[in-house]
A = this chain, B = another copy of it.
Amino acid sequence: MIGHGSSNLVNPHVSVDCVLFGYDGEDLKILLVNQIDKLDLQHVLNKKLPGSLIYEDEDLDESASRVLYELTGLTKINLIQFRAFGSKDRTRNSKDTLWLERFHKLSTSIDRIVTIAYMAMVKIDHKLSHLTSQYKACWLPIKEVGDLAFDHNQIILYAISYMQHYVENDPIEFFDLLPAKFTALQLRHLYEVIYNKEFDVRNFHKKIAMMNYIIPLEEYEKGVAHRAARYYKFNRKIYNKQIHKII
């Protein structure tokens, strides 16, 4: 019953976590940092998403940008809040909470952390491949991620399903991941990573041919050992006209 005494209420810590998906033309990667033990820099801990506890004077969006910058050096990323994770199981592993208490030099123990997760989809260009080293920030192919701290593997799974939603309902953001001109192979590989399944090559080409907003160009790859593949382009205008909208 609502309104009973305060004994069952909880004042959790609140954090932000950033899931950055980056495509470098070959692999779909994810931005990770290391859990650093400041008292023992040799002590190897897990990798994790760039994230941290919020400060009392900052809003959630501000906090996400600050934390991403402090841990990886990246700025001006269009972070989209996509989901809060607040299960009490998030802090099940005492290794993670102990690390966090040491990291922030907390005098009290951490019980529960509600985290607000942000995501972004970016092309890993020259600028975004320069990461700061203090927390060993790196882009790792999604398939090589392994076990992460806290529930960060689960957060990534949610972010991927969120990305699937984009692909299906709002592909404009999704096509921003790709270079302006891309091959059918690049597109198929992206789909395969995002949906974690293989697509039949011939069917995939047939489907592309039906999507009249994916325009085949009269340009082909250059200087490749294999047969040069055709380039395609996403046409935003045609896509927007596909479904007649009232707005």
- Which chain A residues have a beta carbon within 8 Å of chain B's beta carbons? 1-6, 8-14, 38, 52-57, 59-60, 67, 70-71, 81, 83-88, 103-107, 112, 114, 116, 164, 167-170, 191, 195, 199, 204, 207-208, 210-211, 239, 242-247
Contacts and interface: CB of A to CB of B under 8 A. Distances in A.
B114 A87 contact: no
Question: Copies per complex?
Answer: 2
Contacts of A70: 1-2
A54 B10 contact: yes
A243 B242 contact: yes
A207 B244 contact: yes
A105 B5 contact: yes
A11 to B, nearest CB: 4
A71 to B, nearest CB: 7
Given A5-B105, A14-B86, A71-B2, A169 B167 contact: no
A86 B59 contact: yes
A7 to B, nearest CB: 9
